[in-house]
A = this chain, B = another copy of it.
Amino acid sequence: MRLAELSARSGVSTATIKYYLREGLLAPGRQINATTAEYDEDHLRRLRLVRALIQVGRVPVATAKEILGHVDDESLGRTIRLGAALWALPHGPEPDEEDPAVVAARNEVERLLTSLGWETARELAPLSPVYRSLVTAVATLIRLGYAWDAELMAPYAELMLQVAGRDLDFLETHGSESERVETAVAAAVLFEPVLRALHRLAQEEESARRYGLQ
C-alpha cells in the first residue's frame, strides 16, 4: 500500500508517519521510484504499536525506540524479550530506601512473594522496575495509615495471576514471536485502562448486589 492508504488504515496522519520514519520508529517502505514507497501489513502493525506507545501510553520517542529495540531483538528468549520491553515502559517514581514506609512495604512485598511461591518475581526483584513500583504503591498506603500487609494482598495477587494467564492465552493466538511481543507491549499500555474501568464497574455492581440500590 502507498503512504496515503497506510495513513487511512492506521488513522495516523502522513506528516506523523513521515516523522516516525525519520526517527527510525518505522522501517522504510520498499522504494518503487524516486518519490513513492510501498508499505505492507508489518508496517501497519508497527505503526499501530508506535501510536499506542506515544499517543496513549505517553511514552517519550526515545523510550519508544528502546522498547522497539527489545521487541525486535530475536537473540533473546521470550520472557526476557517481553520483560525488557515491559521494563522500559515508564513505571513512576523510584522508592526512597531511607523512608521507613518503604522499608515496611518492601518487607510486606517480600513476605507476599514468599508465601505465594512466586520464585521468578523474587529472583528478578533486584532488577525489576515492576517490583519497585509495587513497593512504592504499598509504601504510599502504609504512609497514609492504611494497615496494608502481605495477607491482605495475597488474594489480589492470586486473582492477578489468573488475569496474567488470560493475557498470555490471548498472546498465544497471535502469529510470529515478534508479533506476540509487540502485542504484549501494546496490551500493557492499552489494556490497563480497560482493566481499571472493569474494576470500578465491578465495584458498582458488587456494591449494589450487597447493599441494594438505595
Contacts and interface: CB of A to CB of B under 8 A. Distances in A.
Interface of A: 10-11, 44-45, 48, 51-52, 56, 76-80, 82-83, 86, 92, 118, 120-121, 123-124, 128, 130-131, 133-134, 136-138, 140-141, 143-146, 148, 152-153, 155-157, 159-168, 170, 183, 186-188, 190-214
A83 B211 CA distance: 12
A124 B214 CA distance: 13
27 contacts: A10-B145, A11-B143, A48-B145, A77-B214, A78-B211, A79-B208, A79-B213, A83-B204, A83-B207, A120-B204, A124-B204, A128-B201, A130-B200, A137-B193, A137-B197, A138-B194, A146-B183, A156-B163, A156-B166, A161-B206, A163-B199, A164-B205, A167-B206, A168-B207, A188-B200, A192-B196, A195-B199
